[in-house]
Chains A and B, each alone.
Chain A
């Protein structure tokens, strides 16, 4: 008897727990049948926000662990965008929530699943690492949530072959097809190097970026001596570097993340045959935390990253706000992209959101996604954003930076590039002398 009662109890709990969930999922479908004069239809679903309730925007970013600077930087960009909007869209306050993604596939999947379960979320901003977006973006889109990434750069994510499950995914960050090519051009044209080795960490970002670099480098007449890989959690890089040393490269390109990148930078000079090799990394390690990880060994190394000097007019004002609000300079390269991503989302909500006579805001999920994809000539901090049919919205401008002793001492990232394809083209005529250090 007792058993029966407890069984009933458990059943009751299960039913009461799942009931609201089930009803929440049914709601949007039921909405078109509303008898009222106000009709708002959407193929996927409608988010309804009662008067006084906030518009919920979710960030899924890496805000903890070794790569926390990347996520914190983009989160700040979004926060400043909200401030600039006055905290309100269409008279409704904006609510921002943040999920940590850990810069790995598992973290991205977990964060996306969590967001997908929350029916109040209108749109998402993220993720930071391409590895997170790969499993995460389809989960969000299944729940009808469009997401704009400020810092995913792996080519796959906006490739035409990516599949319909990525239909809700866009990005304001550059595609690494651009970044990898610029890095290779710099190595060949400016540094006049012939032999390069690359290291990736198995993440889609690093793997695809180094592949683009290697391809361009070979096409321009260089030789790739090795394309090695490590695990992101590896600490002992000396064996793999020793292997690379057998090919005698002039430059090592390792577009990976901070923890492993720091280990490589520190250990390179300890390996015989690599004492004079040049080092280049990419935007994933362009952060003061990387300088902390690599210490003085980072002096002189190169980074490919978005070109701050080519950013729009609003960027200066943004920097001032950033300094005022957080008391420091930006700590990673994607704050402006995050600002633009947030502004794009806000503009799209303004475009599709409609207020019913009873004061409830209706936002159609498919309509919002289409509005985001329709973004054209959007004046952002990072340039004029126009989204392609596969969600590439960036106006990509990549430049090369070099760490100076002063940067390392003060633990700040350089804010002026030493080389960019545009600048090189502009002064290609008088560019006889080697402008080594700035």
Chain B
């Protein structure tokens, strides 16, 4: 066993492991130094973790769309970040109308539900149209072609929405019932963060159980396993693919509103960064694997929030939060060095790739 392992090892592997080991060493060293300096107390760490969880659950919701489409079509839907943008940007106009008419303050729950529905409906519509117009005609084309098309569709959507709504940004109104915080002693959690985390958890759980427990979900999994065989079994492949895009679109639309509730700003380019991060999360968790995408998203959110303080403070690096993205991508490299298929990516991904 050990001999075979040594025989199979290449110089590249050795170098990669050395790099990985060095990064790990830096991380442990930095963390130890930060923790022993005791600048941060328990409630600071708790805050960092909550911030990271809230951000991470949004990444996770978007990552689901990437990973499911990859699972079924073996392509990376780069336009998914625009699916994410289209929902909250359109729903903004509903939210602004509710706010200026006073409806938002009188019936916040109903308004929020309507805002969510608008956003999810728009994102779903965009996702379905995207599949129908841009991807379906290219289903049998070589794999690189849909990928390039996806990038093109991404630009097309971005600038279409810029044409619709202008190049400036819009500010989401403040929802009063989500302001404030719940506190236990010195630990506390902001209300809307709790809402974002809980809502994202419910959505992810329900979408996952839809894929795992229902007949349609089973059919989707069958199609992603083997298209020809499942079509011989009487499964309508096109319908299953559209369903996948619908689920991804719904998740992205909901994530969009959660994002807008957290950050209050929407503009036509807002999907780009979260999209890249969610894609990273999907790869991190093992692309094609739904729980992997969720785990990857939350992991990435946590690393971005906790990482700069924990790893870099101790190393004496000034202004560590500028390096937030670098940390996130270093984590991706680190995971891929030791587990090339991602955290939960099984050999399944290798077989199909």
Contacts and interface: CB of A to CB of B under 8 A. Distances in A.
B48 A68 contact: no
A259 B305 CA distance: 19
A204 interface: no
A293 B265 contact: yes
A236 B54 CA distance: 10
| Residue with the greatest number of chain B CB neighbours at <10 A, chosen from A229, A236, A263 | A236
A272 interface: yes
Interface stretch (A142-150, A238-246, A347-355, A367-375): A238-246
Interface stretch (B7-15, B166-174, B202-210, B341-349): B166-174
Interface string A401-433: 000000000000000000000000000000000
Contact of A239 (B43, B269, B273, B309): B309
Contacts of B259: 235
Contacts of A6: none
Given A65-B269, A266-B264, A231 B325 contact: yes
Contacts of A238: 47, 51, 305
A221 B257 CA distance: 46
Given A68-B168, A239-B309, A272-B188, A233 B273 contact: yes
A81 B310 CA distance: 54
Interface string B305-343: 110110001000011111011000000000000000000
B40 A262 contact: no
B52 interface: yes
Given A229-B321, A243-B321, A235 B267 contact: no
Interface in B239-272: 259, 262-265, 267, 269
Nearest to B268: A65
Contact of A246 (B39, B52, B305): B39
B134 interface: no
A296 interface: yes
A65 B167 contact: yes
Given A229-B319, A234-B324, A239-B321, A295 B44 contact: no
A272 B263 contact: no
Interface in B283-320: 304-306, 308-309, 313, 318-320
Given A246-B40, A246-B44, A293-B265, A239 B167 contact: no
A239 B52 contact: yes
B122 interface: no
Contacts of B43: 272
Contacts of B269: 65
Interface in A208-260: 227-231, 233-236, 238-240, 242-243, 245-246, 259
A64 interface: yes
B67 interface: no
Contact of B168 (A66, A235, A246, A263): A66
Contact of A295 (B52, B171, B319, B321): B171
Contact-residue bracket for chain A: 35 or more
A26 interface: no
A239 B51 contact: yes
Contact of A240 (B170, B190, B263, B321): B321
A65 B325 CA distance: 22
A292 interface: yes
A32 interface: no
Contacts of B267: 65-66
B55 interface: yes
B51 A229 contact: no
Contacts of A236: 51, 55, 262-263, 304-305
A234 B190 CA distance: 20
A206 to B, nearest CB: 11
Interface in A376-417: none
Contacts of A271: 47
Nearest to A66: B169
Given A227-B319, A233-B273, A64 B167 contact: yes
A283 interface: no
Contacts of B39: 246
A259 B309 CA distance: 23
| Residue with the greatest number of chain A CB neighbours at <10 A, chosen from B48, B174, B324 | B324
B58 to A, nearest CB: 10
B48 to A, nearest CB: 6
Contacts of A229: 319, 321-322
Nearest to A235: B263
Contacts of A262: 171, 264-265
A159 interface: no
Interface in A52-96: 64-66, 68-69
28 contacts: A68-B167, A202-B322, A227-B319, A229-B321, A229-B322, A230-B321, A231-B322, A231-B324, A235-B263, A235-B273, A238-B51, A238-B305, A239-B51, A239-B52, A239-B305, A240-B321, A243-B320, A243-B321, A259-B169, A262-B265, A263-B265, A266-B263, A270-B181, A270-B190, A289-B168, A289-B169, A292-B169, A292-B171
Interface of A: 64-66, 68-69, 200, 202, 227-231, 233-236, 238-240, 242-243, 245-246, 259, 262-263, 266, 270-272, 289, 292-293, 295-296
Given A200-B319, A239-B48, A262-B265, 9 more contacts: A68-B168, A231-B322, A236-B55, A239-B309, A242-B44, A246-B39, A246-B44, A293-B264, A295-B174
